[in-house]
């Protein structure tokens, strides 16, 4: 038995029974990282010494009878989440040597349970992108096929879970950044409701949509982690005071009578959905029907405007958020620049990559006085329309089932000449971010090349427990495959 | 002969319009670069002009929607929940705040701004 193939909660049992120590478990993962991550390149920084120290402390806690859910569990953290004293680069030259002087709230929460951080995972620069190829440090590969992308922006997190280089990963989602790579790497990604998890210490891109969540081997593990990281935080005024329930509480309950909405627009060939993906998700829907759920056909008429709305809102917010990076307080500081303005311009120009620059330009374009009404205000109005259309569906249904992506993972050499074409590929995920809804992606099949296909279950606001229940019901009857690493 | 002359005239108009559009786009991109505190070479600006046009083409789809933003009913997505009590708390130590910057006498260092 390879222990790293186990689910997080199975490791918990072994740790509690003293069948394995936190030190042995951590060492096992570090060995795998040393052996395989040269090929996969899922980590930017591996915190080996720190991990072993944390494992020793965790083991002491376990020996003293402490069985906090994540005590001694080795996890990875996306490198846009601040870790006190440990580099947090956002995969950008502009933050190449940035060492945060504080922890993100989620990191404090993990530390308080003595979770073991193995390292910081790769991402698209500033979490802007869907391939993890725009990182300046590494181009992460898909563990199922090293010639293919892992998705993004949390490609490092998803690949590290998929390749069993950690038990789970903490990642972020703004337009699908957590669910899309989870789908393409054959693992499960849970994006909670906006506000469910504190964003304090998450390097902000689009503050009205950014949300931290978990990627793990299954829905149960994701919920297990959410139990630890959820909750109000006085350092994030947009975090919610909604009651933090046990998100695993509905697991195992029958889904008989549950109403699953199937919005036809997500399955329309006009949006460019691959037939294998469509058939696989619809087959999963039929499986739910056999379990006693009721499938309800419905509409999300504004879906075709989702990518445009998302691009406008997220770029406007990104342009504003990234204006704080000036090379003076922190981050890359140019050696050129005769005056204040030149120093800032040169620092930013040298520090940011092409895609980040394009989004900043787009953001400032839609916010400029001549364009503001036509683009930004209209996108704000459309956001309200999405909220209303989703609310209409949820009046009649409990959850919504959609594909997570239009197709399976692309080759690493695709899309390089026309990166903006990939924007349209996010159509299946962005609308739930626009409407602040929780969503979970889990594997529902494999294409003819053996690449994973993901489906998403979208829930009502703060109803993560139900989407976890629904995802888990499918996973229990599905034979998920792990990638073979050589 | 007449056709050749007409062709030449049309061609000149086409080139004129093409350069006008490109010139306008470059002007806009330069303006946005200034707003964004970014600088680009002429070659980069040309490429950006083409890239940004493709991106604008994607977002332009929302122009077909007949919808007007209403600040009272829209934009309720982000709820500001609870602001902290207005109580002074100990802030982060100066050396921590300056640990990623050039630190001179516990101050950030910038080029000379006053002559």
Confidence of residue A419 (pLDDT cuts 50, 70, 90): low
Q: Beta A168-173 vs A74-78: how paired, if at all? A: parallel
Q: Which residues contact A38 (CB under 8 A, 6 or more apart)?
A: none
pLDDT of residue A19 exceeding 60, the answer is yes
The residues pairing with A441 across neighbouring beta strands, listed in sequence order, are A189, A456
pLDDT of residue B31 exceeding 50, the answer is yes
Span of A19-28, A97-106, A172-181, A369-378 with lowest mean pLDDT: A369-378
Can you tell me the mean pLDDT for A385-413? 96
* B60 contacts in chain A (CB < 8 Å): 308
Span of A102-111, A220-229, B19-28 with lowest mean pLDDT: B19-28
* B65 contacts in chain A (CB < 8 Å): 302, 305, 378, 382
Can you tell me the mean pLDDT for A116-131? 97
Instruction: Give the C-alpha separation, A192 to A178, whole Å.
Output: 11
Confidence of residue A53 (pLDDT cuts 50, 70, 90): very high
Q: Look at residue B76 in the predicted model and tell me its pLDDT.
A: 64
pLDDT of residue B8 exceeding 70, the answer is no
pLDDT of residue A2 exceeding 90, the answer is no
Which single residue is written with the structure tokens 């402390």?
A: A57
Structure tokens given for B41: 């070479």
Which spans in A70-145 are helix H? 105-112
pLDDT of residue A188 exceeding 50, the answer is yes
Q: Look at residue B78 in the predicted model and tell me its pLDDT.
A: 57
Q: Which of A76, A92, A153, A441 is the catalytic position? A: A153
**What letter would DSSP give residue A374?**
I
- Between B35, B40, B113, which is nearest A340 by CB? B113
pLDDT of residue A275 exceeding 50, the answer is yes
Q: Look at residue A13 in the predicted model and tell me its pLDDT.
A: 96
pLDDT of residue B22 exceeding 50, the answer is no
Confidence of residue B21 (pLDDT cuts 50, 70, 90): very low
Judge residue B89's burial from the number of C-beta atoms within 10 Å of its C-beta, 0-12 exposed, 13-18 middle, 19 or more buried: exposed
H or E stretch covering A401? strand A399-403
Instruction: Give the C-alpha separation, A109 to A100, whole Å.
Output: 17
* A331 contacts in chain B (CB < 8 Å): 100
Contact criterion met (CB < 8 Å) for B58 and A338: no
Which single residue is written with the structure tokens 């109580």?
A: B87
Distance from CA of B13 to the nearest CA of A (A): 28
Could you give the dihedral angle defined by the CA atoms of residues A405, A410, A416 and A420, in that order, rounded to the nearest 10 degrees? -10
pLDDT of residue B6 exceeding 70, the answer is no
Q: Look at residue B23 in the predicted model and tell me its pLDDT.
A: 39
Structure tokens given for A381: 């109005």
A78 is known as an active-site residue: yes
Residue of A174, A330, A361, A437 to mutate for B, most B C-beta atoms under 10 A: A361
H or E stretch covering B104? strand B103-104
Collapse the DSSP code of B73 into the 3-class scheme (helix H, G, I; strand E, B; otherwise coil) and give the result: coil
Closest alpha carbon to A192 in A242, A129, A145, A125? A242
Q: What is the pLDDT of residues B90-114, one digit of tens each?
A: 999 999 999 999 988 899 999 888 7
* A103 contacts in chain B (CB < 8 Å): none
Instruction: Give the C-alpha separation, A152 to A159, whole Å.
Output: 10
CA distances from B45 to A101, A128, A202, A439, B75 (A): 37, 21, 32, 39, 35
A302 is known as an active-site residue: no
Are the beta carbons of A247 and A227 closer than 8 angstroms? yes
Are the beta carbons of A347 and A327 closer than 8 angstroms? yes
Q: What is the pLDDT of residues A222-269, one digit of tens each?
A: 999 999 999 999 999 899 999 999 999 999 999 999 999 999 999 999
Contact criterion met (CB < 8 Å) for B39 and A362: no
Q: Look at residue A179 in the predicted model and tell me its pLDDT.
A: 98
Q: Provide the mean pLDDT of chain A.
A: 96
Q: Look at residue B1 in the predicted model and tell me its pLDDT.
A: 41
Q: Which of A76, A157, A177, A347 is the catalytic position? A: A177
- E-state strands within A87-187: 116-121, 168-173
Chain B CA closest to residue A327: B101
Confidence of residue A486 (pLDDT cuts 50, 70, 90): confident
Share of chain A above pLDDT 70, in %: 99
Closest alpha carbon to A429 in A189, A195, A142, A224? A189
Which spans in A186-292 are helix H? 219-229, 275-290
Confidence of residue B37 (pLDDT cuts 50, 70, 90): very high
Q: Which residues contact A155 (CB under 8 A, 6 or more apart)?
A: A42, A122, A123, A124, A131, A132, A140, A149, A181, A185
Are the beta carbons of A45 and A86 closer than 8 angstroms? yes
Are the beta carbons of B28 and A362 closer than 8 angstroms? no
Can you tell me the mean pLDDT for A18-33? 98
The pTM (predicted TM-score) of the whole model is 0.94
- Between B74, B101, B111, which is nearest A329 by CB? B101
Are the beta carbons of A193 and A172 closer than 8 angstroms? no
Structure tokens given for A102: 């504080």
Q: Look at residue A246 in the predicted model and tell me its pLDDT.
A: 98
pLDDT of residue B2 exceeding 50, the answer is no
B115 touches A: beta carbon within 8 Å:
no
Distance from CA of B104 to the nearest CA of A (A): 12
Can you tell me the mean pLDDT for A11-37? 97
Q: Look at residue B5 in the predicted model and tell me its pLDDT.
A: 54
pLDDT of residue A80 exceeding 80, the answer is yes
pLDDT of residue B79 exceeding 90, the answer is no
Can you tell me the mean pLDDT for B17-34? 68
| Domain annotation for chain A: domains and CATH numbers | 3-250+467-475 (3.90.1300.10)
Distance from CA of B11 to the nearest CA of A (A): 29
Q: Which residues contact B85 (CB under 8 A, 6 or more apart)?
A: none
Confidence of residue B15 (pLDDT cuts 50, 70, 90): very low
Collapse the DSSP code of A230 into the 3-class scheme (helix H, G, I; strand E, B; otherwise coil) and give the result: strand
Contact criterion met (CB < 8 Å) for B65 and A102: no
pLDDT of residue A182 exceeding 80, the answer is yes
The residues pairing with A260 across neighbouring beta strands, listed in sequence order, are A295, A399
Q: Look at residue A84 in the predicted model and tell me its pLDDT.
A: 98
Collapse the DSSP code of A242 into the 3-class scheme (helix H, G, I; strand E, B; otherwise coil) and give the result: coil
Instruction: Give the C-alpha separation, A440 to A213, whole Å.
Output: 10
Q: Look at residue A413 in the predicted model and tell me its pLDDT.
A: 85
Instruction: Give the C-alpha separation, B39 to A347, whole Å.
Output: 10
Judge residue B38's burial from the number of C-beta atoms within 10 Å of its C-beta, 0-12 exposed, 13-18 middle, 19 or more buried: buried
Instruction: Give the C-alpha separation, B45 to B23, whole Å.
Output: 11
B81 touches A: beta carbon within 8 Å:
yes
Span of A190-199, A356-365, A473-482, B43-52 with lowest mean pLDDT: B43-52
Judge residue B94's burial from the number of C-beta atoms within 10 Å of its C-beta, 0-12 exposed, 13-18 middle, 19 or more buried: exposed
CB pairs under 8 A between A and B: 165
Instruction: Give the C-alpha separation, B104 to B115, whole Å.
Output: 20
Secondary structure (H, E, C), A274-315? CHHHHHHHHHHHHHHHHCCCEEEEECCHHHHHHHHHHHHHHH
Structure tokens given for A454: 């993901």
More confident residue, A161 or B113: A161
Contact criterion met (CB < 8 Å) for A382 and B67: yes
Q: Look at residue A418 in the predicted model and tell me its pLDDT.
A: 63
Instruction: Give the C-alpha separation, A54 to A192, whole Å.
Output: 27
Confidence of residue A145 (pLDDT cuts 50, 70, 90): very high
Q: Beta A294-298 vs A168-173: how paired, if at all? A: unpaired
Q: Beta A168-173 vs B107-108: how paired, if at all? A: unpaired
Q: Which of A21, A54, A76, A78 is the catalytic position? A: A78
H or E stretch covering A51? helix A48-63
A177 is known as an active-site residue: yes
Are the beta carbons of A197 and A229 closer than 8 angstroms? yes
ipTM of the complex: 0.92
């Amino acid at each position: 038995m390879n222990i790293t193939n186990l689910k997080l909660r199975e490791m918990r049992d072994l740790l509690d029974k003293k069948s394995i120590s936190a030190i042995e478990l951590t060492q096992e993962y570090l060995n795998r990282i040393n052996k395989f991550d040269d090929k996969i390149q899922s980590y930017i920084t591996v915190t080996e010494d720190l991990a072993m120290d944390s494992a020793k402390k965790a083991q002491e806690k376990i020996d003293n009878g402490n069985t906090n859910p994540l005590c001694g569990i080795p996890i990875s953290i996306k490198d846009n989440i601040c870790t006190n004293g440990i580099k947090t680069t956002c995969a950008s030259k502009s933050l190449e040597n940035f060492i945060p002087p504080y922890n993100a709230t989620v990191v404090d929460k993990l530390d308080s349970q003595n979770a073991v951080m193995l390292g910081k995972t790769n991402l698209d620069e500033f979490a802007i992108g869907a391939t993890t190829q725009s990182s300046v440090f590494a181009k992460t590969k898909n563990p199922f096929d090293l010639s293919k992308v892992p998705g993004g922006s949390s490609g490092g997190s998803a690949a590290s879970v998929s390749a069993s280089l950690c038990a789970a990963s903490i990642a972020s989602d703004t337009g699908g950044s957590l669910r899309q790579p989870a789908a393409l790497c054959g693992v499960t990604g849970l994006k909670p409701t906006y506000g469910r998890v504190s964003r304090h210490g998450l390097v902000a891109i689009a503050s009205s949509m950014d949300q931290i969540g978990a990627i793990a081997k299954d829905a149960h593990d994701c919920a297990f982690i959410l139990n630890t990281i959820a909750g109000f935080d006085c350092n994030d005024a947009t975090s919610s005071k909604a009651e933090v329930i046990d998100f695993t509480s509905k697991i195992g309950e029958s889904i008989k009578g549950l109403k699953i909405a199937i919005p036809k627009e997500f399955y329309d060939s006009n949006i460019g959905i691959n037939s294998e993906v469509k058939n696989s998700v619809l087959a999963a829907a039929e499986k739910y029907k056999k379990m006693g759920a009721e499938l309800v056909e419905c509409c999300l008429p504004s879906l075709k405007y989702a990518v445009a709305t998302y691009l406008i809102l997220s770029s406007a917010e990104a342009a504003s958020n990234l204006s704080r990076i000036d090379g003076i307080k922190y981050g890359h500081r140019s050696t050129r620049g005769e005056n204040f303005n030149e120093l800032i311009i040169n620092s930013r120009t040298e520090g940011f990559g092409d895609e980040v620059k394009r989004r900043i330009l787009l953001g400032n374009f839609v916010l400029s006085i001549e364009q503001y009404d036509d683009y930004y205000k209209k996108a704000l109005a459309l956001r309200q329309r999405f909220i209303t259309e989703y609310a209409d569906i949820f009046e009649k249904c409990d959850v919504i089932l959609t594909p997570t992506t239009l197709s399976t993972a692309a080759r690493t050499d695709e899309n390089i000449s026309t990166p903006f074409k990939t924007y349209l590929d996010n159509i299946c995920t962005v609308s739930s971010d626009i409407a602040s809804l929780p969503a979970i992606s889990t594997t529902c099949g494999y294409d003819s090349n053996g690449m994973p296909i993901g489906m998403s279950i979208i829930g009502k606001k703060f109803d993560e427990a139900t989407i976890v229940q629904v995802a888990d019901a499918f996973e229990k009857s599905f034979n998920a495959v792990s990638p073979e690493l050589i | 002969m007449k056709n050749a002359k007409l062709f030449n005239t049309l061609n000149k108009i086409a080139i004129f319009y093409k350069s006008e559009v490109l010139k306008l786009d470059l002007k806009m991109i330069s303006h946005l670069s200034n707003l964004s505190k970014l600088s680009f070479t002429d070659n980069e600006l040309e490429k950006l002009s083409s890239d940004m046009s493709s991106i604008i083409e994607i977002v332009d789809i929302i122009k077909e929607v007949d919808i007007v933003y209403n600040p009272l009913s829209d934009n309720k997505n982000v709820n500001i929940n609870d602001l902290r009590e207005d109580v002074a708390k100990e802030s982060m130590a100066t050396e921590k705040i300056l640990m990623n910057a050039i630190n001179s006498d516990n101050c950030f260092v910038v080029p000379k701004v006053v002559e």
